[in-house]
Structure 1
Amino acid sequence: MNQNLLQPDSAPRARLLEQRVVDWLAPAFGMTGGHLVPDSTLANLTALWAARDVAGARRVVASAVAHVSIAKSARILGMPLVEVPVDAAQRLRSDLLPADLSDAVVVLTAGTTATGSIDPLDAASTAVWRHVDAAWAGPLRLSSHAAVLDGIEHADSIALSAHKWLYQPKESALVMFADAAKAHESLSFGGSYLGAANIGLLGSHGAAALPLAATLLAWGRAGLAARIDAEMALAGRLADRVRAEPELQLWAEPVAGVVVWRPHAGDAVQVRDRLSDAWVSTAVVDGQTWFRSVAANPLADPDHVVDAVLAALG
């Protein structure tokens, strides 16, 4: 119960379990391997660190709505951040990327925080390194909606949060690489007291892969896909209901299970404050506050949510 994966003698099964989990997931994304980290912020930081040390990246280029962890990582690594405008669908405008990307790691987002938007994943082919922050939408690659992530297999690295659509405890994520051996070599630190290389930002860690392995073994690929597909359908049902109500407006069709909507009239924040148990948070998109409903709870009821909002409108 107190395993240390840097000491193979004390954690032989735990090390094997983590390797098996990574080996099971990585091929779906075109990656050769990687390792577990506590969250996708650390996954993004690790990937950009590898981009700097393996490929010589000196700048980080990302959309203006990339996750805050990208700006944090750039600052920690001492790399300038170039923000690229987004289009009306909150996707990075590849036509506005810098002409010369020979010293840049370009971050493409698969599932933005506010709207679930997916950048064009085939963009920036001339970048010295391409990283995809797939913290939210990544597991769609394991579902019937895999095609929305076409192009992700050409990335050099990918961040994936397991606590979202892989249904894990909060502190569970992966960073994966197209050339995991080279990336891990650049991120590897030894120590005379260690039984294995210390790869990445963490020191020792325990059997973090255990609940994820148990989930994958219990559900299998088909069971996991069925759950993700069901939640995508849930988002679609909510979007349909919003579209049918004259008092409500839908921001756009959801592409990754995030439904963005609001009342036509009234203050969305005040309406939200009058709700309870209603599967609604808020997000600011283009300077306007919208409701944000994320399909990550299989027990959510779209009709209950919409009825609660309509009642709050009075």
Structure 2
Amino acid sequence: MSSLDLSPAHFRRLADRVSTLAEEWLEELDTRRIAPDITGAASEAMFSEGLPEQGLGDASLDALKPLMAGTRAGNARFLAYVFGSGEPVGVLGDYVASVVNQNVTAWRSAPTVVSLERSVVRSLANAVGCPGFTGSFTGGGSSANMMGLAMAREALAPANEDGSPSGVMYASAEVHMSIPKAVALLGLGRKNLRLIPTDAQWRMRPDALVKAIEEDRAAGRRPIAVIATAGTVNTGAVDPLRDVARIVREHGLWMHVDGAYGALAAMAHPEKFEGLGEADSLSMDAHKWLYQPADCGVLLFRDAKAARRAFSFTGDYARSLTADAVEGFAFFDESMELSRRARALKVWLSVRFHGLAAFRESIRRDVANAKRLEGLVRETPALELLAPATLSAVCFRYRAGLEDAQLDDFNTKLLAHINRRGRVYISNATLEGRFSLRACFVNHRTTPEDVTTVPREVLAAAEELKAL
């Protein structure tokens, strides 16, 4: 027996200890300070000894409790990032995925888990209004966005005659930072990403998009793709997808939708996402608005041939030896990944347990909670709303007794003070040069009572800050 192996009974003892820690974490989650009382120096000191030469055995698990105590608690009032709340049944699915430890790269390497993933992808595509789309699970929206844009480039502008990449892509000025990264990594260069102005609701302006495309064509440049956003990270704005789709078709371009934040909300609010099904490719994050443990992104696409054109490059060692459509299937022919974790397993188990209807209702509650906070901000004279809650992000600031020149500095300090108090945890955005406090609701635990805590905490923290 290898020294790395454990007997099933020994594994069970260790798993029971971890399960007890998990139970305590979930039981105490709502009463924990969200921001841990730990400094950077203290966190570094916890791990300063590095990895041991000789194993600690069962005692190695002793370090888990202080590690968990030193991290942020994603409870009902954690409203900072667009990051899911870790639905518990999904956690169990992740556990099973680690135990079976399949490389979900081809049917022959993980038969049932590959079929499971393909089924879950089809179901999610149907649920968000993209019937007939296929795709795969990814590490997150960043990798899904990069793969979608790689498909666009290979479909419309694979390379110049000398082998150098060419082409221009378009996105709104509110685009997520993963898009400039993807354009750079694809070799197009960030100068070939044109940022299109937005309207008063922070959405891409169709007229400005048409103008940019026509200007580039007149200058001899080659438009490739338009990246529409379904849920901008700052305000949750959804670009006019149907208008963008019409422009893309008229100009023979590729339409990619960055829906990492918002697209899964189409399950509950399809009226906010009209035109989503006209995309050529679409990114979504199940570890955001499907509340799953990270990592759990999704790339959907209309045409699997376009995915294979971009990613199929199979060495003889990986060549399929069957012509059967199922048994010969390989995700690595449609993805940049070769080794792939069983990410879909937690989604499958979670949705089997709760049902899609429960997730739709939870998304509706999040959207309603955002509107509730928007209303409270409007009703509070000391606060100023900076952007409407079009999806589930609310941007506002404190301004009572402050001159305009003081607002950014005070609210920057106020954000840190709010989060240090540990009762709520929010983040920030910059809108038209103005520093904004930002609460984003993608948390299945949040209740209306939690929402009312946010303005109370902001006002209390502001009074403390003024008294310093």
| TM-score clears 0.5 | yes
Residues 12-41 of structure 1: CA deviation (Å, up to 9, x unaligned) = 111011001101011333252111110100
Partner of 1:170: 294
Answer yes or no: is 1:209 the counterpart of 2:344: yes
Paired residue type of 1:282: N
Q: What aligned pairs does 1:44-123 form with structure 2 within 5 A after superposition?
A: 44-56=145-157, 58-79=167-188, 80-97=192-209, 98-100=212-214, 103-122=223-242, 123=244
Answer yes or no: is 1:12 the counterpart of 2:115: no
CA contact (8 A) 2:147 2:335 kept: yes
Partner of 1:278: 424
Q: Computing the radius of gyration over CA atoms, which structure comes out larger, 1 or 2? A: 2
CA distance in 2, matches of 1:154, 1:229: 24
Answer yes or no: is 1:231 the counterpart of 2:366: yes
CA contact (8 A) 1:106 1:130 kept: yes
Residues 170-222 of structure 1: CA deviation (Å, up to 9, x unaligned) = 21111111223432343222122225542321112121111011122122221
CA contact (8 A) 1:54 1:183 kept: no
Paired residue type of 2:180: A
Paired residue type of 1:272: L
CA distance in 2, matches of 1:7, 1:32: 19
Q: What aligned pairs does 1:247-262 form with structure 2 within 5 A after superposition?
A: 247-262=382-397
Match of 1:303 among 428, 442, 452: 452
Q: What aligned pairs does 1:134-213 form with structure 2 within 5 A after superposition?
A: 134-143=259-268, 145-194=269-318, 195=320, 196-197=329-330, 198=332, 199-213=334-348
Paired residue type of 1:110: A
CA RMSD of aligned residues (A): 1.7
CA contact (8 A) 1:132 1:157 kept: yes
Match of 1:29 among 129, 142, 154: 129
Q: Which runs of 5+ in 1 are unaligned?
A: none
Structure with the bigger RCO (C-alpha within 8 Å, sep 6+) is 2
Deviating more after overlay: 217-226 vs 7-16: 7-16
Paired residue type of 1:69: S
Residues 222-245 of structure 1: CA deviation (Å, up to 9, x unaligned) = 111011011111111111111111
CA distance in 2, matches of 1:208, 1:168: 10
Deviation at 1:7, TM superposition (A): 4.5
Equivalent position SS for 1:259: strand
CA distance in 1, matches of 2:223, 2:417: 50
Partner of 1:131: 256
CA distance in 1, matches of 2:310, 2:426: 43
Q: Which runs of 5+ in 2 are unaligned?
A: 1-99, 159-166, 321-328, 464-468
Deviating more after overlay: 282-291 vs 172-181: 172-181
Deviation at 1:105, TM superposition (A): 0.1
CA contact (8 A) 2:280 2:302 kept: yes
Deviation at 1:87, TM superposition (A): 2.0
Partner of 2:76: none
Equivalent position SS for 2:443: coil
CA distance in 1, matches of 2:151, 2:444: 36
**Judging changes above 3 Å, is the alpha-carbon distance between structure 1 residues 160 and 7 closer, same or farther for their aligned structure 2 residues?**
closer
Answer yes or no: is 1:40 the counterpart of 2:151: no
**Judging changes above 3 Å, is the alpha-carbon distance between structure 1 residues 159 and 65 closer, same or farther for their aligned structure 2 residues?**
same
**Judging changes above 3 Å, is the alpha-carbon distance between structure 1 residues 282 and 181 closer, same or farther for their aligned structure 2 residues?**
same
Partner of 1:288: 434
Structure ranking higher in strand proportion: 1
Paired residue type of 2:358: G
Deviating more after overlay: 273-282 vs 70-79: 273-282
Normalising by structure 1, we get a TM-score of: 0.94
Structure ranking higher in helix proportion: 2
CA distance in 1, matches of 2:157, 2:423: 49
Match of 1:220 among 347, 355, 366: 355
Deviating more after overlay: 188-197 vs 304-313: 188-197
**Judging changes above 3 Å, is the alpha-carbon distance between structure 1 residues 114 and 291 closer, same or farther for their aligned structure 2 residues?**
same
Deviating more after overlay: 276-285 vs 100-109: 100-109
